[in-house]
Amino acid sequence: MNAFHFFIEYSIVGIASGGVYALIALGIVVIFKSSQTFNFAMGEMMMLSAYLFYTAAVTFSLGILAGMVAALLGSIVLALVIERVALRPMMGRPFIAIVMVTFGIGSIIRGVVGMIWGPNDLQIPAILARTPVLIGDFFIPGKTARAAAIAVCIVLALILYLRYSRAGVALRAAAADTITAASMGIDVRRVVAFTWVIAAITGCISGVLMANVNTLTPHLGVVALNVLAVIILGGMNSIGGVLVAGVIIGWLEAVTGLILGTEFREITPYILALLVLLVRPTGLFGSRGIERI
């Protein structure tokens, strides 16, 4: 085994974890696009979704498939309640006030989850097979590879859906110009609610995947902080950018972990994001807007 071999193997593993980052980032970006709300509760929403899955699949013995459906439905209902009760009344308020509301929601979810399920790790049923995947000579841990495959498929499906569906047009219209969107019969509040549903879906799937790759704890949501770098890199309002940025950040984390040591893993994505912001303040794919008079 030479060093180059290790490098490639780490790279593939990193890129794979980037897929899940992209899935989480997508949930944050769609909400930001529709309502300029940065949802800091995304990590906690993921974590709660994973607990919902655990409860449905294990406690109520519904099994994996029905458990997943129950968790998705529960997550969607919860996201709609959060949007309706906590965020819709904040419409038009300063950005920072809205951000603080999402922080608060995150803390509440963490507290409630601790009260109900306790602070200890839980083992959720194995969805992802452990058998390693072999790409050429390179071994990829089975769970990571399968989680990445699922995440990337869902991200691609959502990107295509938002690109070509009528709902996607409504989202982009509302994001570009609220008044004009309303003038064309688009109910902007419904568009915002729709983006919370998308965030609930990506959050639920990524939460269950993360709980599978690692374990289920109330701290599961911390990973959403790494995703912040993904969003900065991709551009706050770029749906397509999340996938590329997620893969870059995932790769970078793994490779710096290998070369510089694990203590550098956490900070490198932010250093990269900072450098990108210095050169391109809108991120790699964020729009600057076409202007022509």
Partner 1 sequence: MAAALEVKDLEVVYQGVIQALSNLSLSVPEGSIVALLGVNGAGKTTTLKAISNFLPLENGRVTRGSITLGGEDILKLPPHLVVRRGIFHVREGRHVFAEMTVEENLIAATFAQRTQRSRKEAFEEVYAYFPILSQRRNQAAGYLSGGEQQMLAIGRALVADPAMILLDEPSLGLAPLIVREIFEIVARINREKNVSILLVEQNAVIALKYASYGYVIENGRTVLEGTTAQLSADQDIRRFYLGVETHAH
Please report, as ranges, the residues that interact with partner 1 according to CB under 8 A. Answer: 166, 169-170, 172-173, 176-188, 287, 289-293
Nearer to partner 1, 94 or 289 (CB): 289
Q: Where are the alpha helices (DSSP H) in the chain?
A: 3-35, 42-54, 63-82, 95-117, 142-164, 166-176, 178-183, 188-213, 223-234, 241-259, 268-279
Angle, vertex CA 169, rays to CA 192 and CA 238, nearest 5 = 75
Tokens 């794979």 locate to 16
Largest CA distance in the chain: 64
* Torsion of the alpha carbons at 203, 206, 209 and 215, rounded to the nearest 10: -70
CB of 276 to partner 1, least distance (A): 21
Element containing residue 138 per DSSP (H, E): strand 138-140
In one-letter notation, the amino acid at residue 5 is: H
Nearer to partner 1, 11 or 287 (CB): 287
Nearer to partner 1, 97 or 278 (CB): 97
Nearer to partner 1, 83 or 253 (CB): 83
CA distance 34 to 25: 14
Q: The tokens of 45 are what?
A: 């929403």
CB of 180 to partner 1, least distance (A): 4
Give yes or no for a contact between 17 and 223, defined as CB atoms under 8 angstroms apart.
no
CA distance 269 to 235: 14
Give yes or no for a contact between 272 and 230, defined as CB atoms under 8 angstroms apart.
no
Nearer to partner 1, 11 or 178 (CB): 178
CB of 194 to partner 1, least distance (A): 13
CB of 178 to partner 1, least distance (A): 7
CB of 177 to partner 1, least distance (A): 6
Nearer to partner 1, 66 or 184 (CB): 184
Nearer to partner 1, 35 or 39 (CB): 35
CB of 292 to partner 1, least distance (A): 6
CB of 237 to partner 1, least distance (A): 10
